[in-house]
Amino acid sequence: MNTTNNSRSSQILTNKIELDNKIDPHISIENHIAKRFHGHKVFAVSSQFDDTKKTVIERPYCPNGFAAAILHAYNYHKHLHLSPVDVWLTISQGVSEHINRNAEKFRNRFVKHEGQKELIIGVDGILGNWPEIVNRIVAAADNNVEKIDLRDLLECNFSTTTPNSLTASRIVLLDAVKSYFKYSCMTLCGIPKVTLEGTLEDWMKLQEKVAHLRKLNLELDF
């Protein structure tokens, strides 16, 4: 049986297996990542979810979230929900891995230069805004990939795409061409204004005191 509306389509694959609607044990994304990285403390996690605490299955079958979801649904008779984003990110990650394993073989498909070309991105005013930083790096990389519109090809641009999944797809793009580019972010640092307290005589006296210290032959470095 199929049920369809404008944003989703559901199909009952078999009536021989009873659907299990029980919610299995879940843990927070932070704890899940900490377990993946052997107990190291997680200080920040990017999430595109309102105020609801986002959780994941406590004991996934494998590290790959896409495969783990399918295996869990199959083994425990769950209702499997998939979006184009889930499938496309999995495909594009595989493409990225394939390109990296054959970087020199495919070099002339993407770039004309040899080695790694450094892309320096200015990030003044957007520090901490990782989606925008990633977008700027992608734009720079895209301008240097001359033969294929890799950005248009690998980006998630579906109706189910969220800001986070869009950023994730752009990171996959950067990973795909990392053998050809070195990514660097740069900020402009400096002191725009300084105020010296005290009178002119105070500063002249300071200068005299420093001069006097120098005459004492204490092997000072100033």
User: pLDDT tens-digit profile of 76-100?
Assistant: 898 998 999 999 999 999 999 999 9
- Encode burial over 173-211: b for 16+ CB neighbours within 10 A, e otherwise: bbbbbbbbbebeeeeeeeeeeeeeeeeeeeeeeeeeeee
Tell me the residue range of the domain where 150 lies.
84-186
In tens, the pLDDT along 152-174 reads: 888 899 999 988 889 999 999 99
On average, the pLDDT of the chain sits at 85
Domain shared by 121 and 42, yes or no: no
Domain shared by 92 and 180, yes or no: yes
Residue 215 within a domain: no
Q: What angle do CA 141, 142, 146 make, to 5 degrees?
A: 105
Domain shared by 50 and 97, yes or no: no
Q: What is the DSSP letter of 55?
A: E
Stated pTM of the model: 0.71
Does the pLDDT of residue 47 top 70, yes or no?
no
Domain shared by 166 and 102, yes or no: yes
Cite the beta strand spans of the chain per DSSP E: 2-4, 9-11, 26-28, 55-57, 117-122, 181-186
| Domain final position from 76, 99, 122 | 76
Q: What angle do CA 64, 70, 75 make, to 5 degrees?
A: 120
Stretch 117-135: mean pLDDT, rounded?
89
Domain shared by 30 and 113, yes or no: no
Q: What is the DSSP letter of 46?
A: -
Report the alpha-carbon distance of residue 187 to residue 133 in Å, rounded: 12
Q: Which helix H or strand E contains 1, and what residues bound it?
A: none
- Burial of residue 23 (CB within 10 Å: 0-12, 13-18, 19+) is exposed
Report the alpha-carbon distance of residue 58 to residue 24 in Å, rounded: 8
Domain shared by 65 and 118, yes or no: no
3-state class of 24 per DSSP? coil
| Nearest alpha carbon to residue 169 among 156, 183, 150 | 156
Does the pLDDT of residue 50 top 50, yes or no?
no
Domain count, the chain: 2
Residue 9 within a domain: yes
Q: In this predicted model, which residue has the larger pLDDT, 222 or 196?
A: 196
